[in-house]
Every structure is written in C-alpha cells, then in structure tokens.
A and B are shown apart, each in its own frame.
Chain A
Amino acid sequence: MNDVLKDTRDDHVVIRDVTFRRGQRKIFDGVDLTVPRGKIVAIMGPSGTGKTTLLRLIGGQLKPDTGVVEVDGRRIPQLTRSELFEVRKSMGMLFQSGALFTDLSVFDNVAFPLRIHTDLPEDMIRDLVLIKLQSVGLRGASQLFPSELSGGMNRRVALARAIALDPGLIMYDEPFAGLDPIAMGVIVQLIKTLNQVFGMTSIIVSHDIHETASIADLIYVISDGKVIGSGAPQDLMQSEAPKIQQFIKGIPDGPVPFHYPAADFEEEIMAGQEQRGWFG
C-alpha cells in the first residue's frame, strides 16, 4: 500500500480538503485524495455518496465550496472559462448513460471532438475515428445510430469518443452499471488496455467491487462525505474498519443501517390502529 501512496512526485489529480454542499446537504466534508499519473484509481462507495459529483469537481463542471482541486498542477476552480475548456481537451469522460449525441451517427459521434478541436483534414479524421472504433471493436458499426446500439456497445462508442483526442486522464462514471457479464468483461478489458497501452491515468467511479478491484491499482472508499479508507485492493479487502467491511462484503445491516431513519416500529403500528378505530 505504501509504495503506491508515497509516490507523490507525479500526481495527476490532487484533491485537498474539499467541501461541497448542495443546498443544505453536505456532500463532501473534507475529502482528500490523490491520483498518481498512469495508474487506475477507483473511487467507491454506496450510492448517493457523491462519487459522480467528485468527477464533476475534477472536470470543473462544479466548483467546491472550499479546498483545492488540481489537475496537472492547475487549480481547476480558479481557471477562466476558456482555460477550463483548454484543460478539458486533455481529459476524457465516460458517462454512465454514454451520452452519445442521438442525432449523430456512431462515426460522427467519435469524430465530433476531432472536428471541433482540430483542423485535421476530413480523410485524416476518418482514419483516426476508424482507429478509435477499431480499438473498441466497433469499426463495423460506424454508420449506425446510437438508438440502434445495445447498452454495452453504446458505452464502447462513448469510450471511443472519450479517447478521441488521446487525453492523459480519463474518468469513468459507473462504467459497469447495467451491463451483461460479457459486455462488462469487455469494458474491464478496455479500461485495462487503455491504461497499459496509452498510459492514461484512469479514475473509475463505481460500486461494483469485483470488477473494479480486478483492475484498480488504488481504491478510495467514500462514505458520508469523507474518505473512510484507501489502499490497494487486496489491502482494502483485509481492512478491519466496519464500514469498509460492510461495503466490500455487501452486508445489509451495519454502520450503514438497513432501515431509513423512522419512528419506533411498534409505536407507529399502534398509532395506525388507533386511527383506524374511529372509522373501522
């Protein structure tokens, strides 16, 4: 665990003491985490803990109330709009829904960032798009429209689009959610390949323990707005902390209670009977 964490000389993303609230609700309360360059880092935690929000903070779509968000040494919240758009060219993001543009074909979806951000001639863009589609195995589907794709294919196309500009950092928002085992295996394999072949720093937000643990170099577990544990997958598996144990083993009741906060069960049942007494 130590060898991963200690190497802070080349951190791609640094988050220091970030707090973020939405309305009255505190989503993050002093989150610290670092993403070393070239590694696969997973951010895990129960649903509704703001994992996606964290990605949006890194991408600059949201600003933290306090704290530091740095990507490549640049403080994201302080950037102007145009600087931010510049920085985003070196980030890719795979959205949970894929977020393909429904009015464009698969080919045009992948070509979109290239056409916007580069002045490459059309035949070169064509080659690049076909290379990206080949790498996700969907070159044959280039003329289909997003509505004609299955969920897994949709996400693969979105992945091809996310890596179109060869970003140094790629963020995956719930990449395994709602996929059949084969499609899931394909995505796992792709994330791993992209990381190994192109050296892309990868951040995975997920709650699928096994798939994530199989490829991550480093895992952060977030709960109640804080990082409650971090380390290499095998270290985390052996962690003693009850919250982490509950999450990893999927125990229904524990520090995260099974019951939503409510009045005493017996009292409420009795109260209901009393009320019915008047009419029934």
Chain B
Amino acid sequence: MLSALRNLGQFSLDLLEVLGRAGSLWWQAIWRRPRLANAPLLIRQIYQLGVLSVVITVLSGFSIGAVLALQGYNQLVKYGSESALGLGVALVLVMEIGPVVAGLLFAGRAGSAVTAEIGLMKATEQLSSMEMMGVDPLQRIVAPRLWAGFIAMPILALMFSVVGIWGSSLVGVDWLGVYEGAFWSAMQDGVDFKSHVLKGIVKSVVFGLVVTWIAVFQGYDTAPTSEGIAAATTRTVVYSSVAVLILDFFLTLVMFNF
C-alpha cells in the first residue's frame, strides 16, 4: 500500500519533470522565430509535414465523407428528411471529424517522421555538432518544425473537410439522388462560418501545435540509440493521438457550450 503510494508519487514527479522539460523546450524554441534567412528551412518543413501528408489526408477525407453520406442517408430517409444530409455531413466534418481525423493522421504520418528524424540527428551527434559549430539546434531544427506544424495542420484539416463534403455530395446527390439544390441550400443555411467553420479551424491549429510539440520533444529527448528512437516514435503516435482526442473534448466544451 505504502509502496503503491510511493510509486504514484514518483510517477507524478516524473510526469511533471517530463512536462517541465517539454514545456521549456517549446517555450525556448517558439521564441526563436524563424528569421527571414531561415525561411527556406520553414518551407522545407511545411513540405515535409504538410505536403507529404496531403495524399493520405485527402483519401481519408473523401472516404469518410462518402461513408457519412451513406450512413446518414439511410437514417434520414426514414424520416423523409434526406435534404438535411448535406447539412449533417458538413457540420460533422467541419466541427469534429475534419480537425480530429486530420489531426490523428497528422500524428501518424508527420509526427512520427519528425520524431524519427530528430532522434536520428541526436543519435548521430548531428545536434551536438551543430551546437559545437555555434548553431542553435532549437532555432535551426526545432523551431521551423513547430511553426510548420502550426501552419500545415489547419490547411490539412480544411482540405479534409472540403474533400469530405465533396465525397458526400458525390454519394448523396449523384448516386443516392438527394435533390442537389436542397443538399447545398440546407448546408449553407445551417452551417455558420463564425460559429462552426472558424471553431473547427481553431481546433486544428491547437492539434497542429500539440502534435508537433510532442513529436519534436520525443525526438529531442530520446535515448540516442536505435531502440530509443523506435520507442520514441511509438510514444509520439500514441501520446499525440490521445492528446488530440482529449483536447477535442475540452475544446468542444469550451467553444461550443459557453
């Protein structure tokens, strides 16, 4: 009993310590804004994190939109309100599924790559050698990745939603025969830019920040061995997925209920 309590205390202390280190890494890096001279680094990272995640995001968005339309149609048609299909799909995509699923995909595709890359740089002493050359790895390696995640994630989430809505219209309108005018006008009537779209964007920005933060920290903090990198990559995917889902709940609570 006593040892369980002690273990719990030890665990809490360890957790706080990790959080502290992660926080200070983020804080130090975020103030080292990419200067104009470092813009190519940022662009390269937007390419790595964003562009390379486009295909998986668009494919997933399309199929999720199509599935939502199928399922939604089957339910709505019972009440004769299949004209609300577009509205339902659009709301769900824009507020929830777009940011969340794009965030999860981002964690799996981009987050793991960032952790592995930085971990490898650490293991092969590239970070150390950079420091010894008088170059700050926080500025050159960490900061561009943090900013790239911040920029790329909302764009991916927007693409996800748009492609999802397009997929749902293909299934709903072109295949299941929902009247096109009603499909779009119900959507335009019910979806509000400020209270739905914008809040979805806020979510995706937060997810982008948190996922890249976790990924960068896990890479930076990894044991510089191959086992260490493997474990850190797994941790990145697990932690950031869980963080996205939990944060989604709280963001929804704060933004949509008050």
Residues in A lying within 8 Å of B, measured CB to CB: 56, 59, 61, 81, 85-86, 88-89, 91-93, 95-102, 112-113, 116-117, 158, 161
B83-123 toward A: CB 8 Å interface, digit per residue (1/0)? 00000000000000000000000000000000000001000
Does B128 contact A95, Cβ atoms closer than 8 Å? yes
A93 → B minimal CB distance (Å)? 4
**CB closest residue in chain B, given A86:** B134
Question: Is the CB of B51 closer than 8 A to any CB of chain A?
Answer: no
Q: What are the residues of chain B within 8 A of A117 when measuring CB–CB?
A: 133-134
A97-B124, A99-B124 given; A116·B129 CB < 8 A: no
Give the docked Cα–Cα distance between A81 and B136 (Å). Answer: 10
Which residues of B (109-158) have their CB < 8 Å from a CB of A? 120, 124-126, 128-129, 131-136
B residues within 8 A CB of A86? 134
How distant is A129 from chain B, measured CB to nearest CB, in Å?
Answer: 14
**Which B residues form the contact surface with A (CB < 8 A)?**
120, 124-126, 128-129, 131-136
A101 touching B133 by the CB < 8 A rule? no
Q: B133 contacts A61, CB within 8 Å?
A: no
Contacting residue for A88 out of B124, B125, B132, CB 8 A: B132
Nearest Cβ distance between residue A60 and chain B, in whole angstroms? 9
Say yes or no: A97 contacts B133, CB within 8 Å. no
18 pairs of residues in contact across A and B, judged by CB atoms under 8 Å = A56-B128, A59-B132, A61-B128, A61-B131, A61-B132, A85-B134, A86-B134, A88-B132, A91-B132, A97-B124, A99-B129, A100-B126, A101-B126, A102-B120, A113-B135, A117-B133, A117-B134, A161-B133
**B134 and A93 contacting across the interface, CB-CB below 8 Å:** no
**Min distance, Cβ A272 to any Cβ of chain B, angstroms:** 29
Which of B124, B125, B132, B135 has the most A CB atoms < 10 Å from its CB? B132
Q: How far is the CA of A99 from the CA of B133 in the complex (A)?
A: 12
By Cβ-Cβ distance, the 5 closest A-B pairs, closest first, are A99-B129, A99-B125, A88-B134, A85-B134, A95-B125
Alpha-carbon separation in the docked complex, A56 to B127 (Å): 13
Contact between chains at B132 and A116 (CB < 8 Å):
no
- The residue in chain A whose Cβ has the minimal distance to the Cβ of B127 is A99
With A88-B132, A117-B134 already in contact, 20 other A-B pairs whose C-beta atoms are closer than 8 Å: A59-B131, A61-B128, A61-B131, A85-B135, A88-B131, A88-B133, A89-B133, A89-B134, A92-B132, A95-B128, A98-B124, A99-B129, A101-B126, A102-B120, A102-B124, A102-B126, A112-B135, A113-B133, A113-B134, A161-B133
Query: A93, B124: Cβ atoms under 8 Å?
Result: no
